[in-house]
Amino acid sequence: MFTNYFKIAYRTLLRYKGYTATNILGLAVGIAATLLILSYIEFEMSYDDFQKNAASVYRVSVIAKKEGNVEYDGPEFVAPLGPAMMKDMPEVRNYVRLRNPVVAYVSSGAQSFKVDGIVYTDSTFFDIFTFPLVAGNPQQALRDPYSIVLTPELALTLFGAENPLGKIVRVDGGESFHVTGVVQDPPANSHIHFRALASFSTLYRQPNMFLGWSGGNQYVAYVQLRPNTRPDDVNKKFPAFMWEYLNEQVSSVGLRFDPYLQPLRDIHLRYDEGSAAVRANIYTFALVALFILGIACVNFVNLTTARSARRAKEIGVRKVLGADRPMLIRQFLTESLLLTFFASLVALFLVELAFPLYKQLLGDTIEAWSAFRLTTVLNVLAIIAVVGLLAGSYPAFYLSSLRTAQTLKSGPLASGSRARLRSVLITLQFAVSIALIVCAVIVASQLSYLKDQKLGFNRENIVVLPMIGDAARSKVDLLKEEIVRLPGVLGASASSDVPISGFTSNGYFPEGHNAVMMIHVLDVDDDFLKTFKIEMAHGRAFSPDFASDKSAYLINQTLARTLGWQNPIGKTIRRDGVHTVIGVVKDFNFATLHSPILPLIITRRPEVGQFSNLSVKLNGATTASTMSAIQAVWQRIVPSTPFSYWFLDEAFDHLYRAEKRFETLFLAFSGLAIWIALMGLLSLASFATEERTKEIGVRKVFGASVASITGLLSRDFLRWVVLANLLAWPAAYYFMSLWLRDFAYRIDITVWPFLVGGLLALLLGWLSVGYRTVKAAVANPTQALRYE
């Protein structure tokens, strides 16, 4: 019986080739887009699933409060937290600490290589995390001070084909480390990334690591809980635990630190810095995938019901020959499933073609795709079942419900219910299309606004030379002196950081405030403001003419407002001595535009005695030759340190790469959804004009003009667009309001994106419908009157 259903379904699809091709193409594009979106969503939701101990491992994050107000919430905290939890909490089975990744030059001989991502960690790293060693003993690899574990790529770079175990590498031309292992590269779906692991015990032999409870928020602790232990059991112990170690000491200045546990598998989607954006992307693209599949299904239903009159006699004959309604339902559902199956095969081919470009766009945020992977097979089968049954159900139940006498009549079928259904579905299609167009316009406008946003400083033609290693840092003044003499160089400045993604923060005691305040800080030389063209609001900038400026502070306008200082000049701030405020700089953005401008202190003296960056202002006309001259100066003064640099404006563009990806993908998938809707509308217009062919011929014989006939056939279409706008505009406004909340600097949602969406949908839709209606209106009426 089922074999017969498939035979009949296959023959029916072949008989109506145009209908079949239209449906298969529309469904194939929709399924292909859905598979691409699902591959992205699956990858984002798979973070840290490879960790064997994921169910029992938690990251410790800390909320810092000042007088009850939250000032900080993040995992970077002091180094003793993990060991103290292991000592005092029987629920904790093990712990591991990771120092924030550092950049250094690593050498195994005469040549040095810049390594971005050296992480200092405890010897328990391989006990807690699943990062397999290619070579070495995981129990001993990070046990001793000055031990280091390399990734295969770094080991190959340093030692070639030689066995790296036991070899010596030097970091920043100074300390020597023994290579004790080679570890596999972290998977792309790991929230922990590194190129080398160094033993945490090394830090206790180095200066300025701040390894006590009094400071140094650059360490992240993870704990593994014992079996049958709930994280709440540990969270409940934190108040007493922190009071003993830290909170009692800082309570006098209004501070309090409250740790809590973050499940390892939830870190990427809930607790990382970009988690909110990732969740928003997942929800958005999941919704777009539903829209795309929904529009493809709507096309299927519309086209099937539109051509139902053509199959009416077939249904009548089947009923006369003994077919009952369940048999007809099974037959039509089989046709739907078979058509969806063929569409899925085409979709897999389209994904294979598109995936290289898709992966290039997303970079490391997606893994390789395979049509034969289990998740892909399950997704395709689920789509075939859902789409085939969903799209085929209404036509199957509708066509099988037709009475035998009605189907055998030569006249047209009563079409009121069919017309109403098609009107509803087409209206929904247009509503989705208009909403997507409106959202796309708002997304593009917001990203353009970010690109053009005034930052409060000049980022153009600034090249940053990282001062990596003691050799470079100790010669920064000489480097600056030589570089500013070069033609094409307009200025230079040494600083602890550059304004791009935020500055570190420390605790300070401003005058008139008894409680410590966590304030962002930047250490600069005398030429920083001039190099970046940052303007003064009050007072003066640092000057070599005043010896006292070495301990003086500048503050920004936001800090002055926060402190309530009407006249900040002469006020003092305490930290390692008393510092006088000599000037107020105008506010400038030193973090991403997702964040507002925060209070800032600018000092003249770096925290650890040396600056980390040298920013050079170029004239922009001779960049290539100037960079060659700067490199020559570098190699002459610090020949042991490789020359590296990056341009500030390019770094800013890279900073908003995720938003740019979102824009590109959203526009691409929205365009596909609109294209599928228009393709279905064009096919439906073809069927509609065919149904009214004789009517058009009669009207032309009686003198109707082409314009009047076109207006008659397009009248319903205009009503659909008006109603669709009423549905689409509130939905688009709601979702875009949610998306824009993630930006501290954002556009106002005005009426023009909605007008653009409505008018563009009207234009595209009318072109689709108008093409068929005008073609029918200008046809020879004698041919129309002979039409059967």
User: Looking at the domain assignment, is residue 665 inside a domain?
Assistant: no
Please give the structure tokens belonging to residue 600: 């800032």
CA–CA gap between residue 338 and residue 342 (Å, rounded): 6
Angle between the 275-306 and 17-44 helix axes, to the nearest 10 degrees?
170
Please give the structure tokens belonging to residue 17: 């080739």
Query: Taking residues 516-544, what's their average pLDDT?
Result: 89
DSSP 8-state secondary structure symbol assigned to residue 78: -
pLDDT tens-digit readout, 332-356: 777 778 888 888 888 888 888 888 8
Question: Residue 78: how many CB atoms within 10 A of its CB?
Answer: 22
Stretch among 53-67, 239-253, 641-655, 685-699 having the lowest mean pLDDT: 685-699
Strand 462-466: give its sheet, edge to edge: 489-495, 613-618, 462-466, 646-647
pLDDT tens-digit readout, 563-622: 889 899 999 998 888 999 999 999 998 887 777 888 999 998 876 667 889 999 998 888
Query: Taking residues 53-76, what's their average pLDDT?
Result: 88
User: Looking at the domain assignment, is residue 178 inside a domain?
Assistant: yes
pLDDT tens-digit readout, 754-778: 988 888 877 777 776 666 666 655 6
Residue type, 710: T
Nearest CA to 117 among 136, 98, 137?
98
Q: Which stretch of DSSP H or E encloses residue 393?
A: helix 374-400
Report the half-sphere exposure of 202 (CA within 13 A, side-chain side): 22
Last residue of a domain, one of 601, 627, 643: 643
CA–CA gap between residue 48 and residue 619 (Å, rounded): 47
Task: Determine contact, residues 303/683, Cβ cutoff 8 Å.
Answer: yes
How many structural domains comprise the chain?
2
pLDDT at 666: 82
Is the pLDDT at 364 greater than 70? The verdict is no
pTM over 0.85: no
pLDDT tens-digit readout, 33-50: 888 888 888 888 889 999
Is the pLDDT at 433 greater than 90? The verdict is no
pLDDT at 414: 45
| Residue 778 Ramachandran class (φ > 0 left, ψ -120 to 50 alpha, else beta) | alpha
Stretch among 11-20, 105-114, 447-456, 543-552 having the lowest mean pLDDT: 11-20
pLDDT at 152: 93
| Residue 502 Ramachandran class (φ > 0 left, ψ -120 to 50 alpha, else beta) | left
User: What's the whole-number average pLDDT of the chain?
Assistant: 82
Segments forming the whole domain that contains residue 550: 469-643
pLDDT at 394: 67
User: Looking at the domain assignment, is residue 314 inside a domain?
Assistant: no
pLDDT tens-digit readout, 81-102: 999 999 999 999 999 999 988 8
3-state secondary structure 632-671: HHHHHHCCCCCCCCEEHHHHHHHHCHHHHHHHHHHHHHHH
536-539 and 92-99 as β-strands: parallel, antiparallel, unpaired? unpaired
CA–CA gap between residue 201 and residue 174 (Å, rounded): 17
Last residue of a domain, one of 620, 643, 666: 643
Confidence of residue 785 (pLDDT cuts 50, 70, 90): very low
CA–CA gap between residue 119 and residue 100 (Å, rounded): 6
Confidence of residue 413 (pLDDT cuts 50, 70, 90): very low
Nearest CA to 677 among 300, 299, 350, 285?
299
Sign, CA dihedral 360-364-370-376, equals: negative
Q: Report which of residues 322 and 22 the model is more confident about.
A: 22
Confidence of residue 241 (pLDDT cuts 50, 70, 90): very high
Is the pLDDT at 389 greater than 70? The verdict is yes
DSSP 8-state secondary structure symbol assigned to residue 54: G
User: Looking at the domain assignment, is residue 515 inside a domain?
Assistant: yes
Is the pLDDT at 107 greater than 80? The verdict is yes
pLDDT tens-digit readout, 156-190: 999 888 899 989 998 877 788 999 999 999 998 89
Nearest CA to 652 among 600, 597, 591, 598?
591
Last residue of a domain, one of 175, 204, 233: 204
pLDDT tens-digit readout, 112-147: 788 888 999 999 999 999 999 999 999 999 999 999
Q: Report which of residues 753 and 656 the model is more confident about.
A: 753
User: Looking at the domain assignment, is residue 775 inside a domain?
Assistant: no
- Helix/strand/coil for 421: helix
User: Looking at the domain assignment, is residue 627 inside a domain?
Assistant: yes
User: Looking at the domain assignment, is residue 743 inside a domain?
Assistant: no
Confidence of residue 366 (pLDDT cuts 50, 70, 90): low
Angle between the 657-691 and 275-306 helix axes, to the nearest 10 degrees?
10
Confidence of residue 298 (pLDDT cuts 50, 70, 90): confident
Q: Report which of residues 288 and 181 the model is more confident about.
A: 181
Task: Determine contact, residues 118/198, Cβ cutoff 8 Å.
Answer: yes
Q: Which stretch of DSSP H or E encloses residue 601?
A: strand 600-603
CA–CA gap between residue 335 and residue 396 (Å, rounded): 9
CB neighbour class for 626 (10 Å; exposed up to 12, middle 13-18, buried from 19): buried
CB neighbour class for 231 (10 Å; exposed up to 12, middle 13-18, buried from 19): middle
CA–CA gap between residue 288 and residue 290 (Å, rounded): 5
Task: Determine contact, residues 332/399, Cβ cutoff 8 Å.
Answer: yes
User: Looking at the domain assignment, is residue 765 inside a domain?
Assistant: no
Helices and strands (DSSP H and E) totals, the chain? 25, 23
Angle made by CA atoms 469, 484, 652, in degrees to the nearest 5:
65
Task: Determine contact, residues 579/523, Cβ cutoff 8 Å.
Answer: no
pLDDT at 781: 54
Tell me, rounded to whole angstroms, the distance of Cα 742 from its chain centroid.
12
Nearest CA to 401 among 334, 335, 326?
326
Question: What is the largest distance, in Å, between two alpha-carbon atoms of the chain?
Answer: 107
